[in-house]
Amino acid sequence: MQSSRARLLAGARHISTRASPIGAAGARTLECGGHFGRRSVATTREQLRDELQSQANASEATLDHFVKLASTPAKPSTASSSSSAASFPFPLSSSAPPSSSSSCSSSAPAEEKPTKKREGKLPPWLKTKIAGSGDGRYYALKEQLKGLKLATVCQEAKCPNIGECWGGGKDHTATATIMIMGDTRTPPALDPTEPLNTAEAVAKWGVGYIVITTVDRDDLKDFGVNHFAETVQLVKEKTPSILVECLTGDFRGDLSLVEIMANSGLDVFAHNIETVESMQRWVRDYRAGYKQSLSVLEHAKKARPSLYTKSSIMLGFGEKDDEIRQAMRDLRSAGVDFLTLGQYLQPTRKHMKVHEYVTPEKFDQWREEGEGLGFKYVASGPLVRSSYKAGEYFIKNLLNQQRTQQHSQPQEQQR
């Protein structure tokens, strides 16, 4: 029975999930063993038919073929994969068969955008030194963080740039990213004391630039905007000198919520378009949208013209150069001031594969083109992330210059 089962599963891997009546979900169930792994006796024709029909409403022709495979004694396989595939009485997929490591989750998409096979090893430019090595500022901030009960994205995401961001340095201020309103996809009820607790913890921590973000809170009527805004206000109240950037979602396009966030007292309003327009459906949540994200960024600037706005694009999904240029032009048209570009890295096997590892030289090219388009600051590199060294000396100088101008205007008016 084991040899028959092995042949059955091997055959199932070559089925086109589009052409086969079993469909994508059924093929995944077959590939991962499904209910067949629990059978201890030979499967009769009727039992096997019931099994397949209950899972995928299989056709009679497909059932007959599977029964024949299951009932035929196993023989050593000498035929090539092409001859094995030819024995099936229905069309086969033109794409490569699903791998044994593909996801069995029912939430997996029915189809996946074809991409080049991901290289087994990372290119040398994606290898970085141990975070914080030789940097006393990094270790000091890490030690101060203990007991503050702040959920830092830097540590939880194992960001490769944590040493650079936390280390500060001669030409930039220490930057850290924290998450509020829960740190999971099924976040808990809001803690009304969190805004004040966060503000007090940030004040004790001693960073000069804080990025505040959150998971999507679609379970809340206002998507958590008022809680978010209160946190910003209290952080500013406790530490007036700190620079605050908020990385937000799109609030489902509700511009009134964008306006609340823009006027909360933050210094930088960040919202990421993530990728070029043609790749949105493959990369982002289906509820997000390219034009909707541009609208959010544009409205934040209109709600408060003095506010700096920021966005990020990840490369390596298979986008074309002209599409990247168009995305940068669209962001500038929406009034975006700061732009980051970085390399997409596949977090797990369940996620989209890397199509291309973009070279550092190419990232330098995008930085130059971005600056040519009029962005006030462009961070572009393989390891750059949305909050990468957000407290860079240049950004800090821009913000401080703006503050000086704002303080000097009332004095001139009094004269």
Q: Which of 231, 202, 192 lies closest to 214 in space, CA to CA?
A: 231
Residues 395, 400, 402, CA angle at the centre, nearest 5°? 100
Q: Is 175 helix (H, G, I), strand (E, B) or coil?
A: strand
Residue whose token pair is 């100088």: 397
Residues 214, 247, 159, CA angle at the centre, nearest 5°? 80
Instruction: Please say whether the beta carbons of 249 and 283 come within 8 A.
Output: no
Binding site listing for [4Fe-4S] cluster? 154, 159, 165, 387
Residue whose token pair is 């006393």: 136
Binding site listing? 154, 159, 165, 387
Instruction: Please say whether the beta carbons of 263 and 230 come within 8 A.
Output: no
First to last CA, the chain: 95
Q: Which of 146, 139, 1 lies closest to 70 in space, CA to CA?
A: 1
Structure tokens at 122: 């990372």
Please give the Cα distance from 242 to 236 (Å, whole number).
7
State phi, psi for 341 to the nearest 5 degrees.
-130, 130
How far, in whole angstroms, is CA 236 from its chain's centroid?
A: 29
Please give the Cα distance from 111 to 235 (Å, whole number).
45
DSSP assignment letter at 392 = B
**Residue 241 identity:** S
Dihedral in degrees, nearest 10, Cα atoms 164, 169, 172, 173 = 90
Instruction: Please say whether the beta carbons of 248 and 261 come within 8 A.
Output: yes
Instruction: Please say whether the beta carbons of 328 and 369 come within 8 A.
Output: yes
Please give the Cα distance from 364 to 381 (Å, whole number).
7
Q: Which of 210, 192, 344 lies closest to 268 in space, CA to CA?
A: 210
Q: Is 243 helix (H, G, I), strand (E, B) or coil?
A: strand
DSSP assignment letter at 121 = S
Residue whose token pair is 């966060």: 198
